[in-house]
Structure 1
Amino acid sequence: PLIPGHEVVGRIEAIAADVSGWSVGQRVGVGFLGGHCGRCEPCRRGDFVNCRDQPFTGMTRDGGYAEMMTARMTGLVAIPDGFDAIDAAPLLCAGITTFNALRRSQARAGELVAIHGIGGLGHLGVQYARRMGFRVAAISRGEDKRALATKLGAHHYIDSDRENAAAALQALGGAKAILATVSSPSAMSPLVDGLAPHGELLVAGAGQEPLSVSTLGLIFGERSVRGTMVGTSIETEDMLGFSLLQKISAMIETFPLEEGQRGFDRMMRNEARFRVVLTMD
């Protein structure tokens, strides 16, 4: 059995003798990636995200649903002064995932970027996209998300239950990038037709079924589809600094640690709006 929890903030209680650059009492965080090894081929090439010997916090190594945990030095993230732990923690996976996807995209300020899904990832994606200077279209099912999407910063809202989302994006000029945060590949696939020439579908939502796209839609317009996954610890520090500067925050529900099971169950039932954070006195 493993302790879950992959977005963790606390203070260093003790450090190993060979650790440098960190100190006891320092506020730090750990995200989904538990720290690269520095020895494998991807690490030697500077590709730390794809380290072959990297623990996944809460999945292959005990996570943060506890009073204490251990972490690799290379997985530590310095938490800026002025950032409350409750606000910083839920950004250590969802925040860096959406921030890095947009920052690494081919889109430039002023161009149309679409965020597919207004949930745990998407509600942050809309905020980052707006603060980065993009023209933002939010795509979701139903009219009930329109007000929230607008409040978060979307310039346009597309209800995919009532209209063809790809056609709506083309009517806006075509999206330079679409960040897909939903867990349904079949819902992502048709959006390729909403991309501008050289546009990218950035897949951040994990689903079990295959992703199927029209090859013609990729060839004509030279569009592309690629996956995107979190970031390094220093990139996470970039994200936290940007979030603090731009006043970007996750919508959260808090539960005391002793009620962790209740919070976990609420999250797994997709009832939380949008991130569950466990707190300790």
Structure 2
Amino acid sequence: MPKMKAVQVIKPGSPFELVEREIPQPGPGQVRIRVRACGICHSDVFTRENLFPGIQYPRVPGHEVAGVIDDIGPGVNTWSKGQRVGVGWHGGHCGDCADCRRGDFINCAHLKVTGIHFDGGYEEYMLAPVTALAALPDGISFEEAAPLLCAGVTTYNSLRHAGALPGDLVAVEGVGGLGHLGIQFANKFGYKVAAISRGKENAELARKLGAHYYIDSRATNVAEELQKLGGARVILATAPSGKSKSALVDGLGTNG
């Protein structure tokens, strides 16, 4: 059987290891993807440290996957070989439970998570159920598309459902893996964007990404600065710190 390279976790807490595996064959309702790019997400630690229920080892992490379908399994009629696709955290849904019938697939009672319930994108070829696939347009590279399948979806959907209108002040805390995307999305939504980060070193990048204001949380009181701008309708907090998030609350405007 043809072989491929994969990076797997053999047991909880063990280091990542590079191995050779047989290239898998797609089953009913599955496609095989030739992985062209896979982002690295902090949530991959769930797989390494067994922090999510139901993980079976060895397991290949990776849920920011972009590639090309190179084979399809029985019963797959809506996808074809050669098609550019992505797979994110959402690794498939049942379509039958109450949440699925409402169209709330991410809360499916039988939700599968890529890289947790089945092998993810840290390998040259991976299998994915068709319910996990997203079509990728030709105009974006695989490397650019991969992080959008997790970090991009997280920030885009947060802003899309937050209730802000064009012209509202939206603050984005952090200019990292999530925040740099949040700033760009917020700008394209037509919001007045205030980027928040520690120190002056991220100011130029934040403005280049589309921020209209930059607030240095080391040098100023962030909540007071936001109130000077009229108060934020939405604060998208991406920094992993409860303390920093608590300090932002008073920066919200009326009904923020």
TM above 0.5: yes
How many residues are aligned here? 199
- 1:97 Cα deviation after fit: 1.0
Which residue in 1 is equivalent to 2:246?
Answer: 189
| Structure 1 residue corresponding to 2:185, chosen from 99, 116, 128 | 128
- 1:115 Cα deviation after fit: 0.2
- 1:12 Cα deviation after fit: 1.2
Which residue in 2 is equivalent to 1:175?
Answer: 232
List alignment gaps of at least 5 residues for structure 2: 1-57
Identity of aligned residues (%): 58
Which residue in 2 is equivalent to 1:19?
Answer: 76
TM-score by length of 1: 0.69
Amino acid at match of 2:121: G
Which residue in 2 is equivalent to 1:98?
Answer: 155
C-alpha separation between the residues in 2 aligned to 1:192 and 1:109?
Answer: 21
Q: CA RMSD in A?
A: 1.1
TM-score by length of 2: 0.75
SS at match of 1:14: strand
List alignment gaps of at least 5 residues for structure 1: 200-281
Which residue in 2 is equivalent to 1:85?
Answer: 142
Which residue in 2 is equivalent to 1:111?
Answer: 168
What per-residue deviation string (whole Å, max 9, x for no partner) do you get for residues 166-217 of structure 1?
Answer: 1110110000000011111221012111111111xxxxxxxxxxxxxxxxxx
- 1:75 Cα deviation after fit: 0.7
| Structure 2 residue corresponding to 1:3, chosen from 47, 51, 60 | 60
What per-residue deviation string (whole Å, max 9, x for no partner) do you get for residues 111-154 of structure 1?
Answer: 10000111000011111111111000001111111111111111
What per-residue deviation string (whole Å, max 9, x for no partner) do you get for residues 26-73 of structure 1?
Answer: 111101111111122211221111112112112232110101111111
Deviating runs (4+, > 2 A) in structure 1? none
Question: Equivalent residues in 2 for 1:1-281 (5 A)?
Answer: 1-199=58-256
Which residue in 1 is equivalent to 2:54?
Answer: none
Q: Which has the larger radius of gyration?
A: 2
| Structure number with higher helix proportion | 1
Amino acid at match of 1:119: G
